[in-house]
């Protein structure tokens, strides 16, 4: 089941570490995943981030490249 992968250990990073991760790689090498609602995304988001609202995430996991680091906010 896809939801089982949510139990995979992850590392938390802060905003500064996310900026450093993005700066150290090309824009296409890191996925910034915004899991908020579309209205929140429209008001403010990280340029180039991908919007997948949290309620849709389980159904849309195949849209993410698992070979790249994914920063979820």
Tokens representing 17 are 């570490």
13 pLDDT band (50/70/90 cuts)?
A: confident
* CATH number for the domain whose boundaries are 27-73: 3.40.250.10
Q: Is 52 exposed, middle or buried (0-12, 13-18, 19+ CB in 10 A)?
A: buried
Q: With a cut of 80, say whether residue 49 has pLDDT above it.
A: yes
Tokens representing 25 are 């790689």
What are the sequence ranges of the domains in the chain?
A: 27-73
Q: Could you give the C-alpha distances from 41 to 28, 32, 64, in angstroms and in order?
A: 20, 12, 18
- What is the mean pLDDT of the segment spanning 15-29? 78
pTM of the model: 0.76
């Amino acid at each position: 089941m896809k939801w089982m992968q949510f139990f995979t250990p992850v590392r938390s990073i802060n905003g500064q570490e996310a900026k450093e991760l993005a700066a150290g790689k090309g824009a296409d090498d890191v996925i910034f995943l915004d899991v908020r609602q579309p209205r929140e995304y429209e008001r403010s988001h990280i340029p180039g981030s991908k919007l997948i609202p949290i309620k849709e995430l389980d159904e849309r996991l195949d849209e993410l490249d698992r070979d790249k680091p994914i920063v979820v906010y």
